[in-house]
Structure 1
Amino acid sequence: MRIFLTFLLALPAWAMAAGLEGRVSLVVDGKPLRAEEAAEAVVYFRPAAVGPLTPPTTEYVMSTLRKQFEPHILPIVVGSVVRFPNQDTILHNAFSTSKDNAFDVGLYSEGEGKQVTFSQPGYVRVYCNVHHSMVGHILVLDTPYFTRPGKDGRFVLADLPAGRGDLVVWHDRAKPWHIKAEPGETAPTDIVLDLNLRRIPQHMNKFGKPYGRSANAAY
């Protein structure tokens, strides 16, 4: 027994990694949505001590398609590159005035679009300066431990570092759900998010002015 305990103490933190799991449900006006709609949520674990991050070498993509940003919600890590291709045959724009991650790729036609590097953690709302109803959401995380619920609403975060940290469930139409959790110790959790925020947030165009009807009508 003493030999086994000594062996455990000698293991590095990653060797004793564990996980967290649970199920996410969404409700609107007290009525539950289909289980598969929870796949839009982002579940992430932020350890108490966050080490240096290595962003992926490949780019992420948020397209403009049928006058929508696709995907609607995109989780990435700090330092990641996102390209904004246009798959419609009309003009689009992608911009954000979000703190620390503001950008504007300009007006662009069908094609590959431009790249943007997101160097700071935070929530980035993406809009089109041509179409008021277009909104996308980029969640720039300072932790590599994130996932999306499956079609049954269940999620598993595996191979997490030992020790307590923050378990967060995020959705663009709900207040983030949050608890202190410890991988391997915290029991599976049932989480209910109340989608009580607007689908299209009130916003101005990239010049800080109201959208004109003529701009939307032209497309």
Structure 2
Amino acid sequence: MTLVSGRRGLAAVVMTTVIALQPLRAGNLTLSVTGADGEPLRDAVAYVESSELSVRVDDDARPEGEVDQRNQQFLPHAQAIRRGTSVRFPNNDQVRHHVFSFSEAKTFELRLFADEAPRPIHFDTAGVVVLGCNIHDHMIGYLLIVDTPVFGNADDDGVIRLDGVPDDPEATLRVWHPELGEDDMGMTVDMNGDTRVAASMNVTDTPPPEPRGLRDRRRNLQDRFD
């Protein structure tokens, strides 16, 4: 595997192959991601880019995603979804929320009330979407919209499992975390059956500062609706 730097090199990633089993046309990849403090990165996501992966935007082929509002948090805090997915934003708090995004990949506003089923939001452009709440400044979440069917989100142990990774010498495994912003880090994947990979990123799961410009835009919304 060959290390590929991020677009601006915001964080260093060190990856090593732990074990590879019998050759297969497509295999399963297990990625263990840790942060600068050596602790698992629960907010990390990973995806594979390859010319062998057929990508089509087909609404009927996408399961509906979900970002919950619970205890005045976006849950999950960060996740990857495939381009063309519609995402629900249920409000399971007993207070009102006003979810919005000014990200280039998707701009929207969605007023949420308790016990009300809001309309799903369709994400049809790849990129990073930063979520905010116009009522609760501390609420920030992230969606990474990917243009590939092979992607996964870290569990509580920082483990990401990817199924159907093609045996393609040009395939690239990319790892992303909210602290990287619009960047990601990656390496080419030399799949040889079921493969285990360890990755260390120079970031932590500590919530990053509010993205630049988000607070001003939040205030603009408040001026419009208050």
| Fold shared by both chains (TM-score > 0.5) | yes
Q: Does 1:121 align with 2:126?
A: yes
Question: Is 1:78 equivalent to 2:83 in the alignment?
Answer: yes
2:47 matches 1:39: no
Mapped to 1, the partners of 2:218 and 2:156 lie a distance apart of: 40
Structure 1 residue matching 2:42: 3-state secondary structure = helix
- C-alpha change, 1:23 and 1:93, in structure 2 (3 Å) is same
Q: TM-score, normalised by structure 1?
A: 0.75
Per-residue CA distance 1:65-93 (angstroms, 9 max, x = gap): 11111111121111100011111121211
Amino acid at match of 1:16: R
Matched residue SS, 1:198 = coil
1:179 aligns with 2:201: no
Higher RCO (Cα < 8 Å, 6 or more apart): 2
Identity of aligned residues (%): 24
Question: Rg larger in 1 or in 2?
Answer: 1
Please name the residue that 2:211 is paired with.
Answer: 201
Write the distance in 2 (CA, Å) between the matches of 1:47 and 1:183: 12
Q: From 76, 81, 87, give the equivalent of 2:92.
A: 87
Q: Which residue of 1 aligns with 2:29?
A: 20
- Distance 1:186-1:168 versus aligned 2 partners, 3 A rule: farther
Q: Secondary structure at the match of 1:160?
A: strand
**Which amino acid in the other structure matches residue 20 of structure 1?**
L
User: 1:27-71: per-residue Cα shift (whole Å, max 9, x none)?
Assistant: 2xxx322x3xx2321111111354233454542111211111111
Is the contact between residue 19 and residue 184 of structure 1 (CA under 8 Å) also seen in structure 2?
no
Moved over 6 A (4+): none
Across the two proteins, how many residue pairs are aligned to each other? 192
Residue aligned with 2:172, SS: strand
Residue 112 (structure 2) aligns with: 108
5+ long unaligned stretches in structure 1: 1-14
* Cα distance in 1 between the residues matched to 2:216 and 2:64: 27
Which residue matches 2:173?
167
Does residue 157 (structure 1) correspond to residue 162 (structure 2)? The answer is: yes
